[in-house]
Amino acid sequence: MVQKAKILLVDDRPENLLALEAILSALDQTLVRASSGEEALKALLTDDFAVILLDVQMPGMDGFETAAHIKRRERTRDIPIIFLTAINHGPHHTFRGYAAGAVDYISKPFDPWVLRAKVSVFVDLYMKNCQLREQAGLLRLQLEQGAPAGAGSNGSNGSKEPAGLLAELSARLAAVEEQAEALSKQLGEGADAAAVATAAHLERKLTGLRRALDALEPGSGSGIVRQQPGE
């Protein structure tokens, strides 16, 4: 079963939260409400989110201050933030939003299709990163469990078990690589710079993992034994 991504919706007005839920329900992800900056920070203590939709104008802790707290925390600093505001104070106000760490700044009323498309991109990137971490975890497990067996092909575990795991890892990684490539093409030329940079970062991670995996293949000449000193 595929794990759903969580999207944090932060707005002090219930009707705005309801509207966001109606727009984003088609993505079939988990939507989490927060009616204040404080409530949003509390939710971020326990859950991981793919993207945050953050209203700028809120009583008490406003969107800019909330974003500053989010970016100061190591656990949450990399979560994309899309600012939503009903007031357009000009370029300076917009610059303040980007300076606070936003990947996008959208004025209300916004186009529901555009908002849904932007959020969808960050959800896709989040899911790809989750898959990448899963592949990396399996690779580390293979290194830990397979390395002793690599010292002797006639060991108790034999040589087939590590080879079989390598084949499974390679197949799973290939699937993620294919999805990442499709996502990069989907972004196109008009995509946000932050989304393109995140996709490029994901591709670099995938390339590094593929090289490490290829170095472990029996036909590479290096094998598992020679991979260990370089780690």
Tokens of 22: 């109606």
**Three-state DSSP class for residue 222:** coil
Task: Output 52 or 231, whichever has higher pLDDT.
Answer: 52
Per-residue pLDDT for 122 more than 70?
A: yes
Q: Which residue has the tokens 């919706």?
A: 9
Q: What is the pLDDT of residues 50-92, one digit of tens each?
A: 999 999 889 989 988 999 999 999 889 889 999 988 766 655 5
The angle that helices 160-187 and 193-216 make with each other, rounded to 10 degrees, is 160
Q: Count the neighbouring beta carbons within 10 Å of the beta carbon of residue 160.
A: 10
Asked if residues 195 and 121 have their Cβ atoms less than 8 Å apart, the reply is yes
DSSP string over 115-133: HHHHHHHHHHHHHHHHHHH
Backbone phi, psi, residue 151, to 5°: -70, -25
Which residues pair with residue 85 across a beta bridge?
107
Task: Output 86 or 220, whichever has higher pLDDT.
Answer: 86
- Dist CA 61 CA 39 (whole Å): 10
Tokens of 72: 């100061």
Percent above pLDDT 70 for the chain: 68
Asked if residues 11 and 55 have their Cβ atoms less than 8 Å apart, the reply is yes
Q: What is the pLDDT of residues 166-177, one digit of tens each?
A: 677 777 777 777
200-211 mean pLDDT: 73
- Dist CA 92 CA 109 (whole Å): 20
Q: What is the pLDDT of residues 123-169, one digit of tens each?
A: 988 888 888 777 777 777 776 676 544 444 444 444 445 566 667 77
Task: Output 119 or 214, whichever has higher pLDDT.
Answer: 119
- Dist CA 67 CA 169 (whole Å): 37
DSSP string over 162-220: HHHHHHHHHHHHHHHHHHHHHHHHHH-TTS-HHHHHHHHHHHHHHHHHHHHHHHHSGGG
